[in-house]
Structure 1
Amino acid sequence: MSLVNQLIAAVLAVLIGLASGTLFIMSDSGKSMLLSQLRSHAQDSATHLGLYIAPFMAEQDRAAIETAVNAIFDSGFYQRIEVKGAENEPLFSKETSSDISEQVPHWFINLVHIDPPSMEREITHNWRHVGVIHVQSRAGYAYERFWEAAQRALGLFVALALLAAIAISLLLHYLLRPLRQVELQAHALAQKSYIEQPVLPKTRELRSVVQAMNAMVKQVKQMFDEQSRNVEELRSIAYRDPLTGLANQRFALAQLQERIDYDRNFGPATLVMLRVRELSELNRCCGEDNTNHLLKFVANEVEALSLQFNRTVVGRTAGGEFMLLLEQHPLPRLKPALEQLLIRLNTHIDTMYRAEQPPAPAFIIGVSHSTEQGASAQLLSHARLALKHAEDQGGEIIEYTGVAGVDSSSQTWQQHVASAISNSQVFLQYQSLIGSDSQPLHGEILARILDEDNEPCPAVRFIGVVRELGLLDAMDRTVISRALTYLQREPQGIAISINLGQDSLLAEDFPAWIGSQLAQLAHPERISFEINETVILNNIERTQALRAQLKALGTGFGVDNFGIHPQGFSYLYTLQPDYLKIDGSLVRDIDRNDEDRFFVRSLISVAHNIHIQVYAEHVERESQLEQLLNIGIDGSQGYLHGKPKTLS
Structure 2
Amino acid sequence: MPLSRQLGLSLLAVLILVFIGTLWINANNTRDFVDQQLASHAQDTATSLGLSIAPYMANEEDLPVVDTMMNAIFDRGFYQSMVLKDAKQNVLLEKHNPNSVEGVPLWFLNLLPLTPPESTTDVNDGWTIAGTLTVKSHPGFGYQQLWLNATQAFWMILAVFIVALILLYALVRMITTPLLAVVKQADAISKQQFEQIGVIPRTPELKRIVVAVNRMSAQLAKLFNQLSNQAERYRDFAYKDQLTGVANRRAFELAFEQLLADSEQHAQGYLLLVRLTSLNEVNTNLGYQAGDEYVKLVAQELQNVLTQADLNGALYRVSGADFVVLLEDTAQQDCIAFTQNVIAQLNAIEKSEYRLGTAHVGVGSFSFGDTRTDVLERADNALSGASVATDRWQLAQQKDQHHSNTEWRTQLNTILQQNHADFVAQPIKNRQGETLYNEWFARFSAAALTGDDDEAQHYLPMGQLVPASVRLNYAQKLDELLIASALTRLSSHNHAIGLNVSRLSLSQTSFHQWLIKALPQDNAACANLVLEIPERALVNGTEELTHFIAQLKSKGVRITVERFGAQLAAITHLRKIKPDYLKLDGRFVRNIHNEPDNQLFVQSLVNIAHGLNIQVIAEMVEDEAEARCLLDLFVDHLQGYHIGMPTDTKV
TM range, smaller chain? 0.7 to 0.9
Q: How does 1:265-276 map to 2 (within 5 A)?
A: 265-276=265-276
Residue segments in structure 2 that go unaligned for 5+ positions in a row: 65-69, 95-105
Q: Look up the match of 1:228.
A: 228
Query: 1:479–1:492: structure 2 CA closer, same or farther, 3 Å change rule?
Result: closer
Query: 1:644–1:277: structure 2 CA closer, same or farther, 3 Å change rule?
Result: farther
From 421, 445, 462, the equivalent of 1:450 is 445
Q: Look up the match of 2:644.
A: 641
Q: How does 1:13-32 map to 2 (within 5 A)?
A: 15=15, 19=19, 22-23=22-23, 25-27=25-27, 29-32=29-32
How many residues were matched structurally?
619
Equivalent residue letter for 1:641 = G
Q: Report if the CA contact (8 A) 1:372-1:405 is conserved.
A: no
Q: Look up the match of 1:509.
A: 510
Post-superposition shift, 1:246?
Answer: 2.1
Question: In structure 1, how many angstroms separate the alpha carbons of the residues matched to 2:188 and 2:523?
Answer: 30
Which stretch of the first structure deviates more once superposed, 159-168 or 420-429? 159-168
SS at 2:420 equivalent: coil
Q: Report if the CA contact (8 A) 1:365-1:397 is conserved.
A: yes
Residue segments in structure 1 that go unaligned for 5+ positions in a row: 95-101
Q: Look up the match of 2:366.
A: 370
Q: Does 1:315 align with 2:312?
A: no
Post-superposition shift, 1:388?
Answer: 5.3
Cα distance per residue 1:392-440 (max 9 Å; x no partner): 9999434333x62242327445422332134423233333333455433
Question: In structure 1, how many angstroms separate the alpha carbons of the residues matched to 2:10 and 2:331?
Answer: 79
Q: Look up the match of 1:397.
A: 393
Equivalent residue letter for 1:471 = Y
Q: Report if the CA contact (8 A) 1:560-1:583 is conserved.
A: yes
Q: Look up the match of 1:291.
A: 291
Which stretch of the first structure deviates more once superposed, 302-311 or 386-395? 386-395
SS at 2:364 equivalent: strand
Question: In structure 2, how many angstroms separate the alpha carbons of the residues matched to 1:438 and 1:59?
Answer: 125
Q: How large is the Cα RMSD of the aligned pairs?
A: 4.6
Q: Does 1:617 align with 2:619?
A: yes
Post-superposition shift, 1:261?
Answer: 0.8
Question: In structure 2, how many angstroms separate the alpha carbons of the residues matched to 1:34 and 1:621?
Answer: 101
SS at 2:326 equivalent: strand
From 434, 438, 442, the equivalent of 2:429 is 434
Q: Look up the match of 2:598.
A: 596
Q: Look up the match of 2:98.
A: none
Post-superposition shift, 1:212?
Answer: 5.2
Cα distance per residue 1:459-491 (max 9 Å; x no partner): 21421322222211110111222233333xx17
Q: How does 1:344-355 map to 2 (within 5 A)?
A: 344-346=345-347, 348=349, 350-353=351-354
Cα distance per residue 1:264-306 (max 9 Å; x no partner): 3253222222233475444222311122222223333333343
Q: How does 1:480-491 map to 2 (within 5 A)?
A: 480-487=483-490, 490=491
Equivalent residue letter for 1:599 = F
Post-superposition shift, 1:183?
Answer: 4.0
Q: Look up the match of 2:326.
A: 325
Q: How does 1:209-608 map to 2 (within 5 A)?
A: 213-277=213-277, 279-307=279-307, 308-329=309-330, 331=332, 333-346=334-347, 348=349, 350-353=351-354, 357-358=355-356, 363-371=359-367, 373-387=369-383, 396-401=392-397, 404-409=399-404, 411-435=406-430, 438-451=433-446, 452=450, 453-454=455-456, 455-487=458-490, 490=491, 493-518=494-519, 520-523=521-524, 524-565=526-567, 567=569, 569-608=571-610
Q: Report if the CA contact (8 A) 1:371-1:405 is conserved.
A: no
Percent of counterpart pairs with the same letter? 27
Cα distance per residue 1:105-148 (max 9 Å; x no partner): 99x99xx9x9985644222246642245678999x999999998
Q: Report if the CA contact (8 A) 2:363-2:395 is conserved.
A: yes
Query: 1:15–1:381: structure 2 CA closer, same or farther, 3 Å change rule?
Result: same
Which stretch of the first structure deviates more once superposed, 404-413 or 145-154? 145-154
Equivalent residue letter for 2:225 = D
Question: In structure 1, how many angstroms separate the alpha carbons of the residues matched to 2:153 and 2:590?
Answer: 80
Cα distance per residue 1:574-624 (max 9 Å; x no partner): 443333221111122222222212211111211222333322222233333
Q: Report if the CA contact (8 A) 1:8-1:165 is conserved.
A: no
SS at 2:410 equivalent: helix
Equivalent residue letter for 2:614 = I
Q: Report if the CA contact (8 A) 2:271-2:327 is conserved.
A: yes
SS at 1:441 equivalent: strand
Post-superposition shift, 1:213?
Answer: 4.7
Q: Report if the CA contact (8 A) 1:421-1:475 is conserved.
A: yes
SS at 2:562 equivalent: strand
Question: In structure 1, how many angstroms separate the alpha carbons of the residues matched to 2:156 and 2:565?
Answer: 68
Question: In structure 2, how many angstroms separate the alpha carbons of the residues matched to 1:316 and 1:644?
Answer: 40
Q: Look up the match of 1:191.
A: 191
SS at 1:445 equivalent: strand
Which stretch of the first structure deviates more once superposed, 624-633 or 7-16? 7-16
